Structure 1
Amino acid sequence: MPGEALTIDGLDPRYDARRPTVEDVPAVTALLRAHQLAAHGSASVDPDMVETNLVGYGSWTRRQALVFDDSTLVAWLSVHDRAAGRSMVDVTVSPDVPQTDAAAIARALFGCAERLARDIARARQLHSTLLDSGAYETDARQQQWLTDYGFEKVRTWLQMSRPVTAQDATGVPPAREGVTVRLVRQHPDGLPVAEDLQTVHQVLEESFQDHFSSYRESFPEFIMRLREDPGHRWDHWWLATVEVDGEELPAGAVVTTVLPEDADGFEGTYVDYIGVHRRARGRGVAKSLLNKVISETAKRGGNRVGLEVDADSPTGADGLYTSMGWVTSYRTQSWHLELDLH
């Protein structure tokens, strides 16, 4: 059954727009694959993640629209209410649509995204909000649309991957002396101990205070968003502590998820977050956390660990990752547009 019809200002009337339904998951998955292939030459789309964001848990904080030419899906808009004052905007237009028509569709969808983001901000009683979108570094088409709408490119990100072999299960160094790495504690029923989750959130919030475009995300928003990922597992959350004046203090945290099977049938691990508190920097905390992720991935039979890092990171994190075997697969960009609701 088709989703509810939508009216999008500026969209050519020959196109139909409506809300997504579960029946649209295969078409949206195919659209994303085609876009990725055209944009940077390879594609990796998880249908479970598409379903989660389209109509599952992830859809609760997203406002979305699908655009059709007759019965063919040609575009997808997603506006994610990520946190107070920040909406993540994704506009995907099929590479099969002629350039002029595609640009017109994109402009109408960015306009719709702005209106939705303003509605979200007003509901939160905010006076301003940020539209946060992105593009592959090799996708000149998307970059042109973002520029035309008024977005500004603000950052480049390295998408890195490290191969993992069976030898990594025992071959990586242990945590540095004075650093303890442990799993987030769990109750007998498998649910995590709230105190540890709150500690992870606090450590990451404080770790990223001096990083690019840092913003406050509440604890419930943080937990809810990470739980939306089909690859989420509570036994993939780790805390690091260091001893200071005889007291064990939180020093760092890493949150990872399971990557779906690759073409060879092997799962992997993705580092969603890794942060080291300022009081513990220079003590090998990040390396200890990463070595734990590598060894645990190997023990589970995984063959890779992926992550994203700021190409201009003031902490030199990319150098650490490179020294530990990570290589850059491709680059992406962040584009921002500030909206003043006054």
Structure 2
Amino acid sequence: MGRGWTESAATSDDVDDLAALLARHEEAARGWSSSGRDAVATDVVGAGAAARRHLVARDREGEVRAWGTVHDRAAGRVIVSVVVDPTLAAAQASALAQRLFDWAEHAAVAVARERGLAVTQLDSGCFADDPRQQEWLRASGFRPMRSWWQMTRPVDPAEGSEGAFAPPAPGVVIRRVRGADAADGALPDADDLRTVHDVLEASFTDHFNSHEERFEEFVARLRADPGHRWDHWWIAELTRDDGPDGASVEPVGALVSSVLGAGSSGHEGSYVEYLGVLAGARGRGVASSLLHTVVADAARRGRDRVGLEVDADNPTGAARLYLAAGFVTRYVTQSWHRDVPVDAALDVSP
């Protein structure tokens, strides 16, 4: 890295500097910053820290200049983030990026070994209009795999009124998970939480890069998000009358959302973390009804927008649904992947 530079694991003392570094990166690569200090603190020392490993690089004056993160996202998949100060000279920035990607490979393989795996996927990303990051990813052996539309929709206060949206189709009911108003630290109805997990797992099996995530990992990861709220979880149920035993009620869809921090208007927003519908129930308007539910909920809470991410090549036509519902693409991100055999990893530990 150069004489006088240091590298170390991240601590609570680094949170402010890391948040400032991330803001500089986002402003240079996308045009504005949206990440907050709370999210950084969660990943470094909060509820999300246990699943993450960090490496922080400081220059000879002690300023944070680069930050690497490896997130154990699911068995066989780690999320790799490399953030380098955009004010550095190109050659120095590239050298730092290479160092952090090499470290990330080593850290990801260590995670895979702990899970007893022979190979793991390194999943990194960048803004679509960030050629610098794309160059570093390519140089580190990653390949571009997918584009993701980061979409948003304004919320009208009137959309919180009864009758603002068409009701669900006959037989379809949208409800919150039971016990969503549980006291801090308490869990809602365990069966409902498992239902949400199971429906989403089944819904996404035909989606790009789907990796099975255990129920405990799923709940812990979402609870770690600073915007997590149990009363932002919904289940879609379908009543069928054609079964051998008469009417039956079965879960066919689920939506999990979270709170977006206040934007330029001063109002918070809602963010759709997951929206999934079982293949056998698609075409009944279930996804639209779930989407209407989160928009109406946002309106009643005084929020001004709903955001979400969608695979530009989603096989279920989700992008068309969101466009029809008034969502527009604000910016685009990319997924870059690299598969690494566990026995082939470099030894680049600090």
Q: Does 1:207 align with 2:207?
A: no
Matched length:
332
Which shows bigger deviation, 169-178 or 142-151?
Answer: 169-178
In 1, Cα distance between the equivalents of 2:255 and 2:21? 32
Matching residue within 31, 47, 58 for 1:57: 47
1:111 is aligned with what amino acid?
Answer: D
Equivalent-residue separation in structure 1 for 2:47 and 2:118 (angstroms):
28
Q: 2:11 aligns with which of 21, 29, 32?
A: 21
- Which residues of structure 1 form unaligned runs of 5+? 1-10
Structure 2 residue 252 is the aligned partner of structure 1 residue 259: no
Match of 1:72 in 2: 63
For the residue of structure 2 that corresponds to 1:195, the secondary structure is helix
1:115 aligns with 2:106: yes
Q: Are 1:177 and 2:170 counterparts?
A: yes
Structure 1 runs of 4+ off > 6 angstroms? none
Q: Match of 2:84?
A: 93
Correspondence list, 1:1-342, <5 A: 11-69=1-59, 70-170=61-161, 171-186=164-179, 189-190=182-183, 191-244=187-240, 245=242, 246-342=247-343
In 1, Cα distance between equivalents of 2:47 and 2:34 = 21
Contact 2:80-2:123 at 8 Å conserved across structures = yes
Deviation larger for 291-300 or 35-44: 35-44
Supply the distance in 1 between the matched residues of 2:107 and 2:2 (Cα, whole angstroms): 19
Separation in structure 2 between the aligned mates of residue 217 and residue 12 of structure 1, nearest angstrom: 40
Distance 2:260 2:116 in 1: 37
Contact 1:65 1:77 in 2 (8 A): yes
CA distance in 2, matches of 1:283, 1:151: 39
Mark the CA change 1:331 to 1:228 in structure 2 (over 3 Å): closer, same or farther.
same
Distance 1:299 1:288, change over 3 A: same
> Matches of 1:151 and 1:184 in 2, distance apart?
40
Post-superposition offset of 1:65: 1.1
Cα deviation for residue 13 of structure 1 reads 4.1
* Contact kept in structure 2, 1:128 and 1:339, CA below 8 Å: yes
Q: What secondary structure, in the 3-state scheme, does the structure 2 residue paired with 1:242 have?
A: strand
Normalising by the residue count of structure 1, what TM-score does the alignment of the two structures yield?
0.95
- State the alpha-carbon separation in 2 of the partners of residues 174 and 77 from structure 1: 47
Alpha-carbon displacement from aligned partner over 1:163-197 (angstroms, at most 9, x marks no partner): 00111102222222221000000177443000000
When structure 1 is superposed on structure 2, of 13-22 and 33-42 the one drifting more is: 13-22
Kindly state the Cα deviation for residue 16 of structure 1 after the two structures are TM-superposed: 0.7
Structure 2: how far apart are the matches of 1:12 and 1:187? Answer: 52
TM-score for the superposition, normalised by structure 2: 0.93
**Deviation per CA, 1:209-254, whole angstroms, max 9, x where unpaired?**
0111111100011011001001100000000011223211111000
- The 1:187/1:39 distance shift into structure 2, 3 A limit, reads closer
Q: Identify if the C-alpha distance between structure 1 residues 319 and 187 changes in structure 2 by more than 3 Å, giving closer, same or farther.
A: closer
**Equivalent in the alignment of 2:348:** none
- Contact 1:174–1:291, Cα closer than 8 Å, also in 2: no
- CA 121–13 in structure 1, closer or farther in 2 if over 3 Å, else same: farther
**Residues 302-335 of structure 1: CA distance to partner in whole angstroms, max 9, x if unpaired?**
1000000000111111111011110000000000
RMSD: 1.1
Counterpart-to-counterpart distance in 2, 1:222 and 1:216 = 10
SS of residue matched to 2:48: helix
Distance 1:304 1:189 in 2: 26
Residue 257 of structure 1 contacts residue 271 of structure 1 at CA under 8 Å; is this kept in 2? yes
Amino acid at match of 1:186: G
Partner-residue secondary structure (3-state), 1:167: helix
